[in-house]
Structure 1
Amino acid sequence: MPALSAAPFISARPWLKKLVLPFANWYANAAGYRKIGLRADDLISEENENVLLALKRLPAKESYDRIYRIRRATQLSIQHKLLPKAEWTKPEEDVPYLVPLLVQIEAEKKEIEQLDTLSVMKKH
């Protein structure tokens, strides 16, 4: 299940977004995943069945790109190196590609659960 997010609340208020955005950018840069070419959604653990299902739904190109980024980051980690600054993931490239699928899968599962627990009432 995706974690709860304050992003919609913050995005709906321009003054709050302007206040929080510098901190959010600082935090993403401090995390270091962009320095090894990863995107935020690459960090989502594959131990959840919903994540595995979302990964199966990815287009072939996006799936290949994800695997490439993770393998390259693993190799860099083993070598204790970072990518050259020109190859770092830029903030505009770090867009969610897996989270929308996870949200969709959660909604589908919730709908299925509601339909499975539906009870029929007879009118008299």
Structure 2
Amino acid sequence: MPAPSLVSAVVKRPWLTKLLTPLAGWYANAAGYRQMGLRADDLIVEENETVLKALHRLSPKESYDRIYRIRRATQLSLQHKLLPKSEWTKPEEDVPYLTPIIEQLHAEDKERKELDTVVVLKKH
């Protein structure tokens, strides 16, 4: 089950969105994953059945790119180095590629459960 999200509450209030947008940008930069060439979806833990299914649904190119980014970041971590600033992941490149598939899988599971528990009533 996905973690609870406050996105809908923030989006409904433009003043709150305006207030939190710079803070969110600062936090993403402070997290340091972009300095190693990673995207936010690269940080999703793979020890979940739904995430594993989502990874299998990625295109071969996207899957290869993900593995490359993770291996490069691992190597950088072992060397205690960061990428040159020109190679950092830019905010416009840090778009979700795995999260939409995970959400689709959750919706499919929910629909499957609803269909499996359908009760058929007979008319007399």
TM-score normalised by structure 1 residue count: 0.95
Q: Cα offset for 1:47? A: 0.3
Cα distance in 2 between the residues matched to 1:88 and 1:8: 30
- What is aligned with 1:42? 42
Of 10-19 and 23-32, the range deviating more from structure 2: 10-19
- What is aligned with 2:118? 118
Describe how 1:13-52 pairs up with structure 2 within 5 A: 13-52=13-52
What is the root-mean-square deviation in Å for CA atoms of aligned residues? 1.0
- What is aligned with 2:65? 65
Contact 1:34 1:88 in 2 (8 A): yes
Deviations 1:24-74 (A, max 9, x none): 011111110011000000000000000000001111111111000000000
Report how many aligned residue pairs link the two structures.
124
Describe how 1:101-116 pairs up with structure 2 within 5 A: 101-116=101-116
Q: Cα offset for 1:106? A: 0.3
Of 54-63 and 13-22, the range deviating more from structure 2: 13-22
Matched to 1:74, the amino acid is T
Sequence identity percentage? 71
Deviations 1:50-109 (A, max 9, x none): 000000111111111100000000000000000001111111111111111111000000
Q: Cα offset for 1:10? A: 1.9
